[in-house]
Amino acid sequence: MKRSIAMFVSFFVCALLLAGCWSKKELPDLAFVIAVGLDKTEDGRYLASFQVVNPGNVAGATQRGGGAAGVPVSMYTSTGDTLVEASRKASKKLSRILYYGHTNLVVIGEEVAREGLNGVFDAMERNNQFRTTSRLVVARGHSAKDVLAVLTPIDKISANQIIKTLEFSEMAWGQTINTDVWWAIRSLSGAGRNPVMTGITIEGDPQRGKRQTNVQTSVPNVRISLDGLALFKKDHLVRWVSGSTSRGVLWVLDRIKQTNITIPWNGKKEAIGYRTVRVKTEVKPQWKKGRPSILVHIQTEGDISEAYVPIRLDDYRQLFQLEKAIGRDIEREVKQAIETAQYEKTDVFGFGEAVHRAHPRLWKRIKKEWDDRYFPHLRVTVKVDAYIRRTGLRNTPYIK
């Protein structure tokens, strides 16, 4: 009996201790950080920018005072020798505690990206509030602070617009990539792969983009736009690519969902449009004569989206020739991207990772010299099988 009472008292005391609220945070005491921008100051310190939601100014909320009327977010900046120091120092400017549980975007300044991101990712991964699913972009030609300060017309919170633009652009255009913190860290910590991130820029005067008048017109004076891909070597930005070269990178990474390719025909440039609807890329490592090689096999299915030259699309022989021409165009983009990466000595395609999986023992011999010795001279064979599934509702173009 005494033993039972003692056990009951022990459980009761433990329950009291576990129910403690010493670390509680009330909702009105939290400042929800939606996006973080990272730049460098002239003296080499971190300049952290925090995009914080104004609760009274977002959809469905009733304005009760506090915050600029009608502006859904506020920007706060702070400097520090480290990211944690900059974050803590921001408390001097806010009446609430910065809360990162809802942070879904990180904008990295180009100078920070070129100096290295290992310290940035270390701080993010250690923070138990920070989401590793947060999207990553690199500010191109402007500071991360200016990018986050631009007010956007459709999505009130600019961070949400950037995230949606990343998703839809990758899905529909195929020249940008939707990268998150977890994927970037995995690329850095793994063997034989370097990160790739999308660039973001400002079209127009950044100072005008901060004003509410920018969203009070049908034609905003300032817009945020995605701009190319940032190629990294380890944690350092080494090269920007855009256009067909950036799409070539995504062909190899198997990140193309839908895109539109325009090919020449009968001496006319940009004559026939091809819209992909299904793409599959396989990277097959091989080992010949003591050296690795790679076969990139791309299979794509799609439709004819437009035709500006006379052609009989109901003629299977012409369709076969079109498929070959489309395959050659995709092959050209892929080879151009591979040559660019090899020139910079950065394996952004994960070729080394594929070699590691297929030949783990052989990989141990070459992994230390992969980026600087083996990858730049790696023999890569590109094979493209393009198929036309539909030609649309017309067999003959209007152009005769």
- How do residues 204-256 score in pLDDT, each as one tens digit? 998 888 888 788 788 888 999 999 999 999 999 999 999 999 999 999 999 99
Domain ranges, residue 370: 242-400
- Give yes or no: residues 287 and 213 share one domain: no
Output the CA angle 293-295-299, nearest 5 degrees.
170
User: Are residue 289 and residue 377 in the same domain, yes or no?
Assistant: yes
Residues contacting 360, CB < 8 A, separation 6+: none
Is residue 351 domain-shared with residue 249, that is, in the same domain? yes
Contact between 228 and 256 under an 8 Å Cβ cutoff? The reply is no
- Tell me: do 217 and 250 sit in the same domain: no
How far is the C-alpha of 121 from the C-alpha of 290, rounded, in Å?
36
Please give the pLDDT value at position 17: 60
Average pLDDT over residues 73-92: 91
Give the CB-side neighbour count of residue 122, counting CA atoms within 13 A.
8
Q: In terms of C-beta density within 10 A (0-12 exposed, 13-18 middle, 19 or more buried), how is residue 197 classed?
A: buried
pLDDT at 349 over 90: yes
Q: Of 63-67, 169-173, 346-350, which has the strongest mean pLDDT?
A: 346-350
Q: Which whole number is the average pLDDT over 186-214?
A: 90
Please name the amino acid found at residue 318: Q
Neighbours of 168 (CB within 10 A): 12
Residue at 4 is within a domain: no
Count up the domains in the chain and report the number: 2
Task: Note whether 254 and 310 are same-domain residues.
Answer: yes
- What's residue 338's pLDDT? 98
As beta bridge partners, residue 224 has: 202
Residues 178 and 246 in one domain: no
Q: Please say which residue of 212, 241, 270 terminates a domain.
A: 241
